[in-house]
Amino acid sequence: MAQNANLAELSEAGVAVWLDDLSRDRIRSGNLQSLVDEHSVVGVTTNPTIFAAAISGSESYDDQLHALAVREVSVEEALRTITAADVRDACDLLAPVAEASPGDGRVSLEVAPGLAHDTDATAAEAAHLWWLVDRPNLFIKIPATEAGLPAITETIANGISVNVTLIFSLERYRAVMDAYLSGLEKRVAEGGSLEGIASVASFFVSRVDTEIDKRLDKAGADASLKGKAGIANAQLAYQAYEEVFSSDRWRALEAQGAVPQRPLWASTGVKNPEYSDTMYISELIAPGTVNTMPEKTLMAYADHGSPGTPVQKSYEDAAAVMQAVRDAGVDLDDVFRVLEDEGVQKFVDSWDELTASVRSELEDKA
């Protein structure tokens, strides 16, 4: 089948189109396959919020929940069994994509968000989830908290591919890239192969605008600054990516078979209805990137999206935007700290909701 022209153009520009959603219904109905066939989708990301919505709103999980209830498994085991099954099936569906383009065809599964500040527990669960799903085109999602950074290094050193999530600041993004390179270096030092190891760094966009816009309003700043910081911040992240992945340190790893950790633009659904519904795609087009989109945003770009200024030509303007935001009185360090804390908490809340839903379903079907 023919691919949508707008999304095909995006792919040709070097942006991998991923879907930020997964459910058993989406897999079984053929919807995910159709998005691959007709809308250039070459990857899938998930998070606790996505699974909470999928499981609570569908009967597709009833048979498995009944079987788990009969076996009297714990809620935690049931939760991991259910989510791993969906991710495994999605990995199998995308396996031909992964074979054709090894960096893509990936599906992400997140460690329990309550472990975000526990390095050892995060690394241990990452290894367990990798074993549980048992598919080479899996990504384990690990949050970019301070405790998450050494867990990323350890997980990469163990030969496990990682999607680093909840990145908001350039400073933390540089630390994430360092964690990835350190993991590769550790694996090489221990005699391991770098074959098959991949990573993406999920840099969040729209949430940055939501928080900064609120502060700009409070400061009485020029309204023209609103809706600019999220994109500018991400554009400067790509500049940092280009710097790190052209360094001598990187070249030494590349010579041993390493592949770059691609920037992934996350949180690309527009929160403010006054903004263009495709802005977090159009203004973030650059080679070697991933844009993971909610289906609504994906379809909007398919319908009327068009490329904006290439990211590499935006660095000077992006730096000026971020400086103007600082000059308006916005404490960016505090913004990024709040966004990370809120991001972790939102996923913890969704995980708790998901746990409560599965517990209730197990009790009903016992």
Pair 45, 19: CB distance under 8 Å? yes
Model pLDDT, residue 58: 85
Question: Which residue type does 237 have?
Answer: A
What's domain 6-365's architecture? Alpha-Beta Barrel (3.20)
The reported pTM is 0.96
186 is catalytic: no
pLDDT tens-digit profile, the chain (366 residues):
789 999 999 999 999 999 999 999 999 999 999 999 999 999 999 998 899 888 887 889 989 988 999 999 999 999 999 999 999 999 999 999 999 998 999 999 999 999 999 999 999 999 999 999 999 999 999 999 999 999 999 999 999 999 999 999 999 999 999 999 999 999 999 999 999 999 999 999 999 999 999 999 999 999 999 999 999 999 999 999 999 999 999 999 999 999 999 999 999 999 999 999 999 999 999 999 999 999 999 999 999 999 999 999 999 999 999 999 999 999 999 999 999 999 999 999 999 988 998 898 888 876
Residue 18 dihedral angles phi and psi, to the nearest 5°: -120, 155
